[in-house]
Structure formats: structure tokens, C-alpha cells
Structure 1
Amino acid sequence: MNPIRYERRRYTTGQSPIEKLERLSSHLGGPAIFIKRDDQLGLTVGGNKTRKLEYLVADALRQGADTLITCGAVQSNHCRLTLAAAVREGLKCQLVLTEPADGYHPQASGNHLLFHLLGAEKIEVIPADGDMQLVMEKLAQELASKGRKAYLIPVGGSNELGSLGYMACAEEIEQQAWETGTAYDYVVTATGSGGTQAGLLAGFMARQSNTKVIGVNVSRDRAAQESKVLDLLRSTAGMVGLQGEIRAESVVCEDRYVGPGYAVPTAEMVEAVKLVAQTEGILLDPVYTGKAMAGLIGLIREGRFAKDDHILFLHTGGSPALYTVPQLFIPES
């Protein structure tokens, strides 16, 4: 037995719930849509990175680290949750953030506000094209010179260890499907750094499930994203000793809803966020789940799914970013 899948911290009590979106399903007139509320996972404001951090932080503690260092955008959900995990564990946390296109605003709200409220030890802002890994390594060296030990976590927590969080999630979904007698034909999720989609695919493979996974890109074109996810899927499967052939066609990424680029709003995203809020009272976000839901809506409208399909949408969190773009959702008077 490979024990690595069982070496984890626990930041959530029980399973994240699955809810049927009755009014949204009726509005779209397509398949039955369900939502898995990973926005309700433990740590500050929830989100999918919590699952990855359960494994990553366990490894950091095993190695005797006293500081977590990670990186992302100025509104990074991953940075928020890594910092929250550090607080929970009594560790320090340093963040490397890339400057947005409109410049860095020290008083920015959303996740950036939470970085300060949660007490990040250091925030290093670098140009958008800067080398985040290099800067993280430099910060780690500075800490080592002071007798401290850092643990570096990649963007999105998306490496083999982080992907185990979504192997566990796939197993959780299978258990919930069995308990309710509702088998899911598809899981639809935002895909960016790749760990969530790769972990789901590995987890369903491990359970010999027929559930398919569709990733809706929030950055990159289809070929680049599918290659990224496939590489991570194969390395994760290799790490845990998963048997069986991994076929490239099992990785499906839909790139038509990215728009002009990462975190750049689209009309389809705005429609999707408003529609889910006004039919189900659930908040999505403008960067990840808004574009992923836009993708799901678009696929339903073009007839991608059968009427009797059961579609599970993975809510990966991120609602703090809503408050950074009120102009997208408040009508002009």
C-alpha cells in the first residue's frame, strides 16, 4: 500500500454538499444540473484549494517547515487559502503576487484585503511576466539564512501531491452518488493550473467510474491546457501506483469561454453569474466559476448533453473576487 494518499490534514468536517439546481435546470431546459459546494470547504471563505492543501500542508509539517511560501495573482484564491492554512497550523506565510494589467493597488479589496487581515508575513509583488518560482526560492533562501525552513507550494497547489485532494473528491462524489442513487454522467469544472481536473480524472479512474470530466479553461488554449492536465494526470497516477492505460482523449478542456485572457471579464461570464444568483441564490466568481458555468450553459444550449443526463458542476469557490468588480453587476442609473 502506498501510504501517501492517507497522509493529510483535515480542514473540513464531513463532505461538501451536493444540491440539485432545479430552477436553473428548468430555465435552461436541458439535463438535470447539480452543484458540488466546494465553496463551502473549510478554511477562510472556502474553495477547491482547501482539498489540495490538506496534503501539501501535511507534507510541509512532516518536513519540519515553519513557513509556507506560495504564489499567484493579486486576487488569488489559492494564496488566501494557503495563508489560512498557515494560520490554522501556527505557521508563517509569504506570498509572491503578480502585478495585474491595471497596476498594483495596495488598498485593493477582495482576496488582497484578506491577505492583510489574515496576517501574511510578507507580500512580494512582481511584474506579470516575472519568474514566481525564482522569487519564491529567493525568499526561502533568505529564511534559511535566518535558521528558518520554508516549504514552497506551486501556483494553484497543482502538483502530484496537491492533485490527491481531488482524487479524494472523486471518491467522495462516488460515495454521495451511491448514497442518493444519482449517478453523474459528467463533472464540469474550471481548469487553470490543472490539479483539480487531473485529480478528478485520477480519482474516477481509481474507482473505475464512468463519470466523464469536462474542464472549462480560464486561461490557455485547448491544446496547451489538455497537455498540461494530461502530464499532471500521468505523474499523479504514477505516484500513487494507479494501474491502467491513461488515454489522451480522457482529458477534455473547453477553451471557447476564456475570452481575452485570464481574469478578463466576458459577457457570457456576467450572464452566468447573474443567472445562477437569480435562480438559485448561489454566488459564483468572475474568474473561475463564472467562466466555467458560462461554458456549461453554452454546452447545454448547443445540445452537448442528453436531456436525461446528470451534470455535476463543481463550485471551486472564489466569491471574494466579486467585490473587486461591482461595475460588472450593478446597472448604471
Structure 2
Amino acid sequence: MDLARFPRRRYTQGFTPIEPLPRLSKALGGADIWIKRDDLLGLAGGGNKTRKLEFLVAAALAEGADTLITVGAPQSNHCRLTLAAAAREGLKCRLIIEERVPGSYSPEAVGNNFLFQLMGAESLRVVPLGTDLAAEMSTEAAAVRAAGGVPHSIPGGGSNPLGALGYAACAAEVVAQSFEMGMSFDRFVVASGSAGTHAGILAGLTALNSRLPVHGVSVRRDRTTQEGNVHTLAVATAALLGTPAPDAEAVQVDDAQVGPGYSLPTDAMIEAVQLLARCEGVLLDAVYSGKAMAGLIAAVRDGRIDRKERVLFLHTGGAPSLPAFAEILRH
């Protein structure tokens, strides 16, 4: 797998740590749980979108872009990190916020919404669920060109084949770290949303001939739809890499943690966020990593993850959004 042929900006020095979670493992009464700390990636507040942006922003710079345009939900980690990358590179940034839950966006909100203002988004527009986001980005791009600028649009979550290369690189990182640590994992648990992280890991592991199963926990869509999205993007990412495509059977998605919908709280997510904070001092977020950890906890408790397994959990970040969910998580 030759990633060196793709232009890349480096926003993180070295590998993110893999750490044991012994107190969580003990609290669950089995399964040896470890965590890959992608919440410690570079840019403002860290998180998985940083890996994708290393490739996406490099492509924008190669085109001579002076303005990044992207989309996300209220409290979007992707929008926060795209804006941070723009600031790092001296670029402008325009955000389109899709209000997936009616009434969920407030310009006075804390968390990531406050950071959109602090880091100086050039513009921020709110659109309702169901809006054609590609068309909205095209409208923004036309406005930038009309003003003499050079726009570059980045899809939601950075989830296209180029962005997914960031998690093919992460797969190589995990394989290398496992070798250096002299240990192997029986399962890799990841949040599955816009699909770029999940698909990139699958494409990378397949390219490396790794047999590490990837257990995706959906945060938005039903299992059948999400498995199709992940497989389609994993195949396209493998084609970009020039490596074998993952089989459809390799795509595993658990949709039991979606609850009432994207970003909407569940009791299991609240328990997971509180448990990690109190057992290990690790901060999960309420939208992605909290629901993914809830999926891991449920799978250990009901026996889908054997208590003898060594499990690696991908921490995708998101802690900067926690203040917006304080009332939900307080008790």
C-alpha cells in the first residue's frame, strides 16, 4: 500500500497512542479493552477528521484554493477541524450547517458552534434536513469565484476516497503498533457515520492482508443502508490505492445504538460517556464515540464480544462539543 504518492499535509507528529483500559475492562467483567487515541490528533481539539483533512487539504492547496467549503450538522467535529485546517494554512472557510434535528442549531450555542465563531468562519448558513448539500456547496463556490477567489469543496465528514486514505494510513499505523507491542487484537470497534473512517480502515487492512475484523457501530442509519455505504466507499478507496477491494462480508455494522436518530441521546450513550470519564478519565462525545462505546459495552454484556477477546476501540474525538450536551450528561 503506497500512500507516499499522495500529497499530504501533516497535522500530527508520530502515531496516536494505543492504551489499555483496565478499569473499564474490570467494570464490564471481561474482554481486554484498549483504545486508539485519535482524539489526540492535531488541529483544534483533535479527532478523526484530522487524518482525512491531511489528504483533502493537500489537494486543495495543490489546486491553488484560497477558500475551503464544507458541510456538517450543528456541533459538527468535521466543520470545526476543517475550519482549524483552514486557519493553519491561511485559507478562508465557509460552512453550511444541515439542521438534521429541527431547532437544534443556535448561534448562541457553546461547544463546536462557539468554536465556529472563535476560529473565524467567513460565512455560516443553516439549511434544513433534506437539502441538496452538493448544490449548496456549488452555490458557495460560485460566490467565491465571483469575488475573485478559488474555492475547494470538501464533502461532509471528509468522506470520499481521498479523505478515506487517512484511515487506510491509520490501519497501517495500528498494524505497525501491534507488531511493536508484540500483541494482536481480536476486534476493532469504530463509529460508523459518514463512512469514511470505517471504509478507510477496511481498505487499509485489506491492502495489508490483515485479518483484524472491524465492528462498526452506526450513529445514524440502519444496518443495511450503512453497510452498503461503507462497502461502496471502501471499494472506491481501494481502487484509488490500487489494492484489492474488501469483500462485502467484511463490512459489519451494528445499528442498535442509533436510538431516536442522529445526535439524539440514548441512555446507553449517557452511561458509556459517564463510565469512561469516571473509570479512565477519557472524554467521549455524545454523537459518535459515546454511541460507539455504548455498542462495545452492549456487545460485551450480551456475549457478542467474548470476554476473552482483546478489543481495540477507536476514539474518534469530539470532546469539544461536550458543553452543548451538559444537561443531558450531568446526572
TM-score grouping bracket, smaller chain normalisation: over 0.9
Q: Matched residues in 1 for 2:117 and 2:2: separation?
A: 39
Give the drift of 1:31: 1.2
CA shift in 2, pair 1:292/1:5, >3 Å: farther
Q: Quick check: 1:16–1:41 contact (8 Å CA) kept in 2?
A: yes
The one-letter amino acid of 2:328's match is: L
Tell whether 2:13 aligns with 1:13: yes
2:62 corresponds to: 62
Q: Mind listing any 5+ residue stretches in structure 1 that lack a counterpart?
A: none
Asked whether 1:295 is paired with 2:295, we answer yes
Q: How many angstroms does 1:307 deviate by? A: 2.9
Find the counterpart in structure 1 of residue 120 from structure 2. Answer: 119
Structure-1 residue corresponding to 2:242 = 241
Measured after TM superposition, the shift of residue 127 of structure 1 is: 1.5
Match of 2:190, SS state, is strand
Pick which of 126-135 and 145-154 moved more.
126-135
Give the deviation of 1:3 after TM superposition.
6.3
- Which residue in the other structure is 2:163 paired with? 162
What is the rounded CA distance, in whole Å, between the counterparts of 2:80 and 2:103 in structure 1?
21
SS in 1 for 2:285: coil
1:266 counterpart residue number: 266
Cross-structure match for 1:194: 195
Q: How does 1:70-89 map to 2 (within 5 A)?
A: 70-89=70-89
In the alignment, the residues of structure 1 paired with residue 5 and residue 175 of structure 2 have an alpha-carbon distance, to the nearest angstrom, of 17
1:322 deviation in Å? 1.4
Q: Which residue of 2 aligns with 1:46?
A: 46
Rounded Cα–Cα distance in structure 1 between residues aligned with 2:320 and 2:141 = 29
Partner SS state of residue 8, structure 1: coil
SS in 1 for 2:147: coil
TM-fit CA distance, 1:132: 1.6
Counterpart position of 2:102: 101
Displacement of 1:30 in angstroms is 1.8
The size of the alignment, in residue pairs, is 330
Q: Which moved more, 1:43-52 or 1:181-190?
A: 181-190
In the alignment, what sits opposite 1:171?
Answer: 172
Match of 2:148 in 1: 147
Decide which moves more: 217-226 or 140-149. Answer: 140-149
Q: How many angstroms does 1:103 deviate by?
A: 4.5
Find the counterpart in structure 2 of residue 278 from structure 1.
278
* 8 Å contact kept, 1:30–1:305: no
- TM-score in terms of structure 1 length: 0.96
CA distance in 1, matches of 2:212, 2:248: 16
Quickly say closer, same or farther: Cα 1:5–1:219, change in 2 above 3 A: farther
What CA distance in whole angstroms lies between the structure 2 residues aligned with 1:181 and 1:2? Answer: 24
Residue 4 of structure 1 deviates from its aligned partner by 6.6
The alpha-carbon deviation at position 238 of structure 1 amounts to 0.9
Gaps of at least 5 residues in structure 2 are none
Quote the sequence identity (%). 54
1:199-245, Cα deviation, whole Å (9 max, x unpaired): 001111111111110110000100000000000011111111103x5
Aligned counterpart, 2:314: 314
Determine the C-alpha separation between the residues in 2 that align with 1:126 and 1:104: 10
3-state SS, counterpart of residue 68 of structure 1: strand
The letter of the residue matching 2:274 is K
Residue 24 to residue 2, structure 1, CA distance change in 2 (3 Å): closer
